[in-house]
Chain A
Amino acid sequence: MLQAIGLESVEELFAQVPEDLKLRKPLDLPPAMSELELEDHMNRLAQANEAMDRWVCFLGAGSYDHFVPAVVDYIASRGEFYTSYTPYQPEVSQGNLQAFFEYQTMITQLTGMDVSNASLYDGGSATAEAVLMSFSGTGRSGAVVLSQAVHPEYRNIIRTYLENLDTQIRTVPCPQGTTAPEELARLLDDQCSCVVVQHPNFWGQLEPVEQLAQVAHEHGALFIVVVDLVSLGLLKRPSQYGADIVVAEGQCLGSPMSFGGPYLGVMACREEFLRRLPGRIAGQTVDRRGRRCWVLTLQTREQHIRRQKATSNICTNQGLLAIRAAVHLALLGPQGLREQAQLCLWKAHFAAQQITALERFELAFPGPFFKEFLVRDRQGRVADVLHWAWKQGIAAGVPLGRWFPQLQDCFLVAVTEKRTAEQIRRLAQVLAQAP
């Protein structure tokens, strides 16, 4: 091949690179390994972790140990999905495009919203994107209002995204565990482009979303809700209480926890904001023979066309995770999702009851919750409690002191459909013996 292009050495291939810049020695990296050797190495690294296939998982806070049917893994591992890319050539990407169209449809069915995109990175950055959307959606960018009960990492991401813009972030304090509509009203004025609320919120509590939406709208701000998609098997759809933009972490729909990623940023909105949506969107059309088919559409919103005026810089999204979610939802169906939501609800309440039956522990907040609740250790020794439980093979909860100094005597417990009554009783027993 070198000969064919008239070169004598490989070195000549890099003639464009100035000589003095070239690396004169090999990269300082470990030597190559065969598949067999590396398999051993990777297995050792993996086994050095204490994973949730061996520990009983009550951890949540945005990443959940939900059931993933085998079909999801099987479909997602098809090379035709797995090793294809963004469907730039629709004639040879109908599989991906139709799957995205089905995903979008099911997200609108879940949320009740008019339109969905074909995915963003994760729940956190999707929330920040929703905030950016609200600027062009309202023509305001002076301030945004966040509930304190929104995931602290999501609020951190919004802060990062807005750091170099002239937008003020106002936070509604939630000492009672939910966002009070009158507190929210106090922080709103005609500068505010949006209100961001999580429902159920970071501490698992259900928010008075209807009233909050009303307050936001009275002040001309968009109502952005971060939802738990599994909860929508039972709870009202966001369209029913006045959401303008809905975002969610889609990991709960068929993806492993994988230490935080890759995950799936779900975003849906009202029709009015369609042209402000970031990311890819699949749309239906016909081909030259009149056959129904799908394409990427409304691409003028996107960076490859509109460049600095694009709705977002996003290019690569989470296509494979969106396909996982589509397969997962198709497997669950309406009854499956409702049963899953009910199981979460029942098991979480059973767990809360078992734990609070112990003198030492109480619920930090009194309001209704779905699958997650905040437990206060009256002795304030959260680290000891969690460490003790861990040694018994139980991941009992997430400590919150890192984000909320006032809640450092609390830990957040999540209970999914995968937990059994026996595991829950064991959790309570272990907590009872905690030092």
Chain B
Amino acid sequence: MRNSRATRLLFELSKPGLRAVRFPEPDVPTPPPQELLPSEQLAADPPPLPELSEPDVVRHFVNLSTMNMAVDTHTYPLGSCTMKYNPKRNDRWAGLPGFAQLHPYQPEQSVQGLLQLLYELQQYLAQISGLDAVSLQPAAGAQGELAALLIAAAYFRQRKAELGPRTRVLIPDSAHGTNPASAAMAGFEAVTIRSNSQGLVDLEDLQQKLDPQVAVFMITNPNTLGLFETQIERIAQMVHDKGGLLYLDGANMNAILGVVRPGDFGADMMHFNPHKTFSGPHGAGGPGAGPIAVKKHLDPYLPVPVVVRDEEGRFRLDYDRPHSIGQVRSFFGNVGVLIRAYAYIRTLGPQGLRQVAEDAVLNANYLLSLVKPFLPVPFGSRCMHEFVATAQELRRQRGITAMDLAKRLLDFGFHAPTVYFPITVREALMIEPTETESKQSLDAMAQALFRITEESPELLRQAPHSTWISRPDEVQAARRPMLKWTPQEDRS
């Protein structure tokens, strides 16, 4: 049960002299630090951290945790984020000392078990993607995008004589914001491609913007509207005809595991989001991981290191790749997350993974069928793993916004869908139930949504009513940013 004193900050709970960690008495000589270090390098006092006892700290953070909605406690249909159940077994295994207590610079001979696991995971991801080579290094999907675009840049630099300078990256208007941001970071100009009336890539617009300066077309498939790009082969052909590369944003792989492979529909490179597709917990915002898979001709450019197996069957970290783009982060990668992805894939096997996609798509379509009678879903009567409904009519007729619906849903014990994304749909509610929700919870969610649409606009504008806080004043937060606690006497 929640304790109302829990909202006090650590700093307000602090009492001088309290402490929770005691270190052993020193068993080596203890000269004063100024004898070992120049005094001008030393701080007079330690940092002014809060002072607390162990029970204080535990009670504080346990109480904080009870103010969160999470997959373990609630249905969490946050579109595009694939908030599926996280099998607890995977956490136990990732935490085994034989994995968690490995130093990144241990000799390769001493980490053969882990390298085997990572090597096999590279192969599994290649198989699932239909592509040839994999790097497990990127720390998250967005970093995978960046790495892949840097690979494209390196590839085109080397083929400049033949393919000319390539400066532009094409991105559909329905794409995640990370796509254009990654393109800009990698030094490309991001160019937007319009969606057509079916919510798919507008081929005419693509044709027009697809010139010899285009390096990459970044596509999300299924796209953020939950629709499969039916023209994907044609799109791939168009991009390849101009010498460009097709990148797949793999955020929505949950919908197509074992059903269709990006490599088979023409993608040259892609990233995975193991914290979505392969059930790594989302951890309050991360860690994720962002492995990338590429076709053979891009293999030489992958970040280092990659795991290889030599003739004697030993696993090695291969840094000797002269065309590699280098590293995008330190050490190997988010190994703890990758271990969970490996365990997830081994748990399910080929049939199980396909079943994930089937159930995710079935659940989404079932929920879609329940929701669309009272909440319009602009694009299509079928979807893949998610769909985007709109509150535009509700807003016009009764002044109820997507945000109002989302906030009120919290009162009914459901996490809100993603709202106001993709930007191509007004008053968007992006709903992704995932395969791990039961029919009962889908029925209950649809029923709750329906009841909400019948409620009074005034009640909804004030929602949520039952949560720990009511709607926060985000304008004040942005106008006068208060980003840390300051002692009372320092406040003006």
Contact flag (A, B; Cβ within 8 A): yes
A186 CB within 8 Å of chain B: no
CB-based nearest B residue for A51? B101
Q: Is the CB of A333 within 8 A of B50?
A: yes
Q: Is the CB of B58 within 8 A of A75?
A: yes
Q: Is the CB of B349 within 8 A of A33?
A: yes
In the assembly, what is the distance between CA of A121 and CA of B7, in Å? 28
Q: How far is the CB of B143 from chain A (nearest CB, A)?
A: 7
Q: Is the CB of B470 within 8 A of A288?
A: yes
Q: How far is the CB of A133 from chain B (nearest CB, A)?
A: 12
Interface residues of A in 151-172 (CB under 8 A from B): 151, 153-154, 156-157, 159-161, 163-165
By a CB distance below 8 angstroms, the chain B residues around A320 are 281, 283-287
Q: Is the CB of B369 within 8 A of A83?
A: no
B353 CB within 8 Å of chain A: yes
B76 CB within 8 Å of chain A: yes
Please name 19 further chain A to chain B contacts, defined as beta carbons within 8 Å, in addition to the given A29-B128, A78-B65, A288-B471, sorted by A numbering: A2-B362, A13-B362, A16-B384, A26-B258, A32-B349, A32-B351, A47-B113, A53-B97, A69-B21, A80-B70, A86-B282, A101-B9, A256-B336, A261-B333, A262-B337, A346-B28, A346-B31, A368-B41, A390-B107
Q: How far is the CB of A284 from chain B (nearest CB, A)?
A: 4
By a CB distance below 8 angstroms, the chain B residues around A417 are 23
B93 CB within 8 Å of chain A: yes
Contact of A122 among B93, B329, B472, B481 (CB under 8 A): B329
By a CB distance below 8 angstroms, the chain A residues around B42 are 234-236
By a CB distance below 8 angstroms, the chain B residues around A282 are 483
Q: Is the CB of B67 within 8 A of A285?
A: no
Contact of A50 among B106, B117, B186 (CB under 8 A): B106
Q: Is the CB of A79 within 8 A of B72?
A: yes
By a CB distance below 8 angstroms, the chain A residues around B71 are 79, 83-84
Q: How far is the CB of B85 from chain A (nearest CB, A)?
A: 8
A198 CB within 8 Å of chain B: no
Chain A 116-133 near chain B by CB (<8 Å), digits 1 or 0: 101101111100000010
Contact of B27 among A5, A15, A420 (CB under 8 A): A420
Chain B 88-108 near chain A by CB (<8 Å), digits 1 or 0: 010101011111111111110
By a CB distance below 8 angstroms, the chain A residues around B40 are 210, 236
A257 CB within 8 Å of chain B: yes
A187 CB within 8 Å of chain B: no
In the assembly, what is the distance between CA of A139 and CA of B133, in Å? 39
Q: Is the CB of A233 within 8 A of B230?
A: no
Q: How far is the CB of A101 from chain B (nearest CB, A)?
A: 7
Q: How far is the CB of A272 from chain B (nearest CB, A)?
A: 13
In the assembly, what is the distance between CA of A13 and CA of B20, in Å? 55
Pairs A-B, 10 closest by C-beta atoms: A260-B331, A46-B98, A48-B113, A319-B285, A320-B283, A79-B72, A32-B349, A124-B330, A262-B287, A260-B104
By a CB distance below 8 angstroms, the chain A residues around B332 are 259-261
Q: Is the CB of B369 within 8 A of A4?
A: yes
Residue in B101, B182, B190 whose Cβ sees the most chain A Cβ within 10 Å: B101
In the assembly, what is the distance between CA of A127 and CA of B128, in Å? 33
In the assembly, what is the distance between CA of A423 and CA of B52, in Å? 32
Q: Is the CB of B483 within 8 A of A49?
A: no
A332-B21, A345-B33 as given contacts; A38 in contact with B343, CB under 8 Å: yes
- In the complex, which range does the number of interface residues on chain B fall in? 35 or more
Contact of B467 among A6, A28, A91, A99 (CB under 8 A): A91
A121-B140, A331-B57 as given contacts; A26 in contact with B354, CB under 8 Å: yes
Q: Is the CB of B469 within 8 A of A291?
A: yes
A350 CB within 8 Å of chain B: yes
In the assembly, what is the distance between CA of A4 and CA of B112, in Å? 50
Q: Is the CB of B7 within 8 A of A81?
A: no
In the assembly, what is the distance between CA of A302 and CA of B188, in Å? 18
By a CB distance below 8 angstroms, the chain A residues around B91 are 77, 82
By a CB distance below 8 angstroms, the chain B residues around A33 are 346-347, 349
Interface residues of B in 303-328 (CB under 8 A from A): 303, 319, 325-328
Instruction: Spot the interface stretch: A189-197, A214-222, A309-317, A374-382.
Output: A309-317
Instruction: Spot the interface stretch: B203-211, B389-397, B413-421, B450-458.
Output: B413-421
Q: Is the CB of B187 within 8 A of A257?
A: no
Chain B 271-314 near chain A by CB (<8 Å), digits 1 or 0: 00101000001111111110000000000000100000000000
Chain A 331-357 near chain B by CB (<8 Å), digits 1 or 0: 111111111101101110110000000
A18-B233, A319-B284 as given contacts; A337 in contact with B47, CB under 8 Å: yes
Q: Is the CB of A18 within 8 A of B232?
A: yes
Contact of B103 among A112, A124, A284, A395 (CB under 8 A): A395
In the assembly, what is the distance between CA of A94 and CA of B181, in Å? 28
A148 CB within 8 Å of chain B: no
Q: Is the CB of B153 within 8 A of A96?
A: no
Contact of B482 among A116, A283, A349 (CB under 8 A): A283
Contact of B284 among A81, A159, A234, A258 (CB under 8 A): A81
Q: Is the CB of B350 within 8 A of A121?
A: no
In the assembly, what is the distance between CA of A48 and CA of B37, in Å? 42
In the assembly, what is the distance between CA of A294 and CA of B477, in Å? 8
Contact of B181 among A93, A109, A274, A307 (CB under 8 A): A307
Q: Is the CB of A121 within 8 A of B66?
A: no
By a CB distance below 8 angstroms, the chain B residues around A420 are 27
Q: Is the CB of B470 within 8 A of A333?
A: no
Q: Is the CB of B104 within 8 A of A259?
A: yes
By a CB distance below 8 angstroms, the chain A residues around B36 are 345, 349, 368
A281 CB within 8 Å of chain B: yes
A276 CB within 8 Å of chain B: no
Interface residues of B in 136-179 (CB under 8 A from A): 139-143, 145-146, 150, 153-154, 176-178
In the assembly, what is the distance between CA of A236 and CA of B474, in Å? 36
In the assembly, what is the distance between CA of A302 and CA of B177, in Å? 9
Contact of A308 among B114, B183, B258 (CB under 8 A): B183
